[in-house]
Structure formats: C-alpha cells, structure tokens
Amino acid sequence: MSEFSQMSGRIGTFHIVGQDRKRLRSQLRLHSKWKKTVLIIPLLASEYTDPSNLPVLKNILRQLRNVTYLSQIIFGLDRATEEDVFRLRDLITTSGIKHYLIQWNDGPGFSDIYRQLNEAGFTISEPGKGKNMFISFGIAIALGAESIGLIDADIRTFRREQLDRLFYPVVVLNYDFSKAYYARISDRGEIYGRVKRLLLDPLLLSLKRKFTESRQEKMLRLIDFLLGFNYQLSGEVAFHVDLLKKMRFATNWGVEIFTLIEVYRKASSPAQVMFTEEPFDHKHQEASPKDETRGLNRMAIDIVTTLMNALIIEEGLEISDTFFRDLAITYQAVAEDQVKKYSDDASFSNLKYDRDAEEYLVKGVFHNSILQAGEVLAAPYRMTEKFLRFVNSYPEFKPFLENGLAEAILEVEQKTQRSIFQMPQTVSWERVSSKLPRIFYDLIEVVESEKRRLS
C-alpha cells in the first residue's frame, strides 16, 4: 500500500494507522524514567496578551497538563515586560502545569548570557525564534535532557497525542531527529501551507531539474533529502541531545530549512511523523506586496537565501550571472503546474481553493523573492566579472594583471562573498561549551534565580 511507503531515503516515515494511544503513552513514560525529556515552547508575549490569541495558548497548556513523561517545559519568552512574565506564570500555574520554567529573554539574567556569548565571539544579534530556541536548547542541555522537543505556541488545533507522536521515535525508538508533518487545512476547508506548497516545493523541484541536467550528484543528494520530508517548514521537531549539541540554527525565517540542512549533514537516523489526521491550523503570515521586510515576503526571501547559501558556500555550487534569473523562470513554470494540481485536488476533495490568489503569490511574491535573493547572493560574482572585463578592455592594464592583480581581485572577491553570504546563524552548543566551559552552570544559575523571583 502506498500509504506505508518508505521511499524517503534516509528518512523513516511514521503513519497514523490504527494507533494505540495508551500504548504510546505508556512506552513514553517507561523510557522517560531514564531518558530525561524536555519540551520547549518559544513564544511572544502577544501570544497571550492579545485576547484573540489567548484561547490558543490556553488550549495548549490544558493539553500539556497531564503529560507525565516531560521532566520540564521551557517557555522561551520574547518581547515581554516583567508584568507579561508574571501574567504567563499565572496562566501556567492555573492550568495545572508544575514542572516548568520561563526563559525571559529580555530580562537581566538572560541579557548577561547574551553578553557572554557576544564577548566570546558568538554574535547572536538577530531577534526571533532562532535566537530564542537556541538559548532554550542550551538550558535543556544544562538540565541533563536526553530528548528535547519543540512546538510552536500558535497551534490552534493542538492535542496532547500529537506531542506523543513527535517524541516517540526519539524517546522510544532511538532515532536522533523527528519532525512533524500534517495536512494544512483550516476548519473552514481552506488549503493552507502556502510557502511550502507554492515556494519551497517548486523551488526544490526546479533545482532538482537543473542538477539532474548538469549531473551534479552532490547537490542532488541534498535536494532529494529535503524533498523527502512531507512538510519541511513545520515547527514541531524533536532531537536526541547528542545531535542537538552539534547543530547550528538560523536566526531568521529560514530556521526550519536550515535545521533540515544541518540534519542532512549531522544526523544518522532522522524520522518524520504524521502529527494528526485532523485539519491542522496555526497563525498565518500576510503577503505585503509593498513591504519586502514583513510577512510572507520576508519569510520567502529568508528561505531562498538560506537554502542557496548552503548550496553555494557549504556545498560548493558554482553559479553564473544568469543563474537566479533562469531559476526564477523554471520555478514559475513548475509552480503554475503545481497550482493547477492543487486546484484539481481541492475540487476532488470538496475544499475551498482561491486559484487567483495562489497564482498571484507565485507570480507577484515568490517569483520576485527568488530574484531578490539572487541580488544578494550573486552580487560578488557580478562585481568581479564586470571589473575583470573592464581591466581586460585596456591593454595598459595588462601588466598589472600579470603582476598578481588577478590574485588580489580573487582574494577581494572571496572576502566579499564571505561578508555577503554571512547568514544570521548560531554556532553549535558543542562549540560554545568548548570556549565557555562554565556556560551551562551560568545558565542554570540564571534559571534558578528566575524561579526564585517568580515564586
């Protein structure tokens, strides 16, 4: 049966077919007796100070109340005042959750941690989910966690059995990475997951077509790995601590795709897990045609630059001056074909589908995001090529080229590439602890101090 297909290469795929939930929980409880398990929930204060968001977080807290195999839940809190911290504490304690800690990133304790990291050369300045969860992972390691999971705080349809499924491969079956997948359908019957469906998948398929034609096997292996995940951009993941210590994380909207690239390089046994059979829904980003720094526009540019940075800098892909223009053309053709398939599938499944809006995103937002990412990533190549063409046009400059100017230009080019291609990302906790041997003790001291202040 195709439903049980294991065609994702290195990735183990777990389906929901006749699942015994009680057995799943009992196995998790049993194994967590000697495998400390920690859950991380990164969130903004607006997830509960905004009345429209509050019911979503309250439901998540209710669902987590009776999860007995978790030794600790870390709430990584961003953009919060001290009053917001106490309000979150009250929400958590009222829900009945006992083993938790609040990581107030804007508070004095964690500000000192960020200072230490920055002084040691580990600059973590880009605000956002990546920076938030990086510190949470450090705390989990310091607490002695063996299995660490992460979920978003904006899941409107969260149920505790979803968490059981996410942790099961890592806690019970000894996989070193687990990632959730699901169908993004609203309770109104609308198909969501636009960035995955309309940008990332067509982009990966376009790259696969290019690399197949040029027989670039090294590039193809990474692209095939990414295509093997049913939902590359899901925010629900779990790690074994040995893998987590070696991982780096992006600190922009490219965090999920960067995580999978790191898993490709460093994990031995990754898995993906069907999270739910029911419609799955969380907060949506709006497209902002006139503002490239917000919403889907910013997310799309970050995802493309993160992926292409990995291919160019770390996998050694050579690109021409027209690479991104050609890629955008191929992408649009593939994406438009995908839109037709989604429209037909929606009709077959009696789902709502706005084909005009989807085609607009492909042509008016995501196509441009690829070109804009190319402007950043291809700039050093264009600069060097134009300069060399200029120099070669004048015979009087030939002696300078013969006297090592070409090598000097190449050195400048390489330095420029490193500067422009420098993606906002963390180092691994393995590297941090090597340079700052006391960092885990300092994290625990901050955690204990915050606990006393909130009690």
AA letter at 440:
F
Joined together, the tokens standing for residue 394 give 């004048």
For the cut 70, the answer to whether the pLDDT of residue 222 exceeds it is yes
Secondary structure percentages of the chain, helix, strand, coil, to 5:
55, 10, 30
For the cut 80, the answer to whether the pLDDT of residue 422 exceeds it is no
- 78-117 pLDDT per residue, tens: 999 999 999 999 999 999 999 999 999 998 889 889 899 9
- 17-70 pLDDT per residue, tens: 777 889 999 999 999 989 999 999 999 999 999 999 999 999 999 999 989 999
Query: How high is the pLDDT of residue 417?
Result: 45
Joined together, the tokens standing for residue 133 give 């969860």
Residue 366: pLDDT band with limits 50, 70, 90: very high
Query: How high is the pLDDT of residue 263?
Result: 97
CB 39 within 8 A of CB 73: yes
Percent of the chain with pLDDT over 90: 65
Is 389 inside a domain boundary?
A: yes
Query: How high is the pLDDT of residue 418?
Result: 41
Both ends of the chain: CA-CA distance in Å? 54
Q: What are phi and psi of 40, to 5 degrees?
A: -115, 135
Query: How high is the pLDDT of residue 410?
Result: 52
Is 390 inside a domain boundary?
A: yes
- 128-178 pLDDT per residue, tens: 788 899 999 999 999 999 999 999 999 988 999 999 999 999 999 999 999
Average pLDDT (279-302) is: 70
d(CA 171, CA 164): 10
Of the candidates 323, 333, 297, 419, which has an alpha carbon nearest to the alpha carbon of residue 375?
Answer: 323
d(CA 330, CA 324): 10
The residue among 285 and 228 whose pLDDT is bigger is: 228
Is 410 inside a domain boundary?
A: yes
Q: Where are the beta strands (DSSP E) in 202-338?
A: 237-240, 270-274
Is 404 inside a domain boundary?
A: yes
Query: How high is the pLDDT of residue 20?
Result: 84
Element (H, E) at 242: helix 241-244
Q: Which residues contact 356 (CB under 8 A, 6 or more apart)?
A: none
Helical spans, DSSP H, in 81-128: 82-95, 108-119
Range of the domain at 390: 380-420
Where does residue 256 rank: exposed (0-12), middle (13-18), buried (19+ CB within 10 A)? buried
Query: How high is the pLDDT of residue 451?
Result: 86
Of the candidates 419, 421, 439, 420, which has an alpha carbon nearest to the alpha carbon of residue 429?
Answer: 439
Of the candidates 273, 291, 167, 270, which has an alpha carbon nearest to the alpha carbon of residue 225?
Answer: 270
Is 119 inside a domain boundary?
A: no
The residue to which tokens 């906790």 are assigned: 429
Query: How high is the pLDDT of residue 113?
Result: 92
Could you give the number of structural domains in the chain? 1
- 233-290 pLDDT per residue, tens: 999 999 999 999 999 998 888 999 999 999 999 999 999 999 988 878 776 556 555 5
For the cut 60, the answer to whether the pLDDT of residue 381 exceeds it is no
- 311-351 pLDDT per residue, tens: 988 888 888 888 999 999 999 999 999 999 999 999 999 99
Query: How high is the pLDDT of residue 290?
Result: 56
Average pLDDT (220-226) is: 95
Is 408 inside a domain boundary?
A: yes
Global confidence as pTM = 0.88
Helical spans, DSSP H, in 173-236: 194, 201-213, 217-227
Is 319 inside a domain boundary?
A: no
Query: How high is the pLDDT of residue 14?
Result: 94
Query: How high is the pLDDT of residue 294?
Result: 61
Is 415 inside a domain boundary?
A: yes
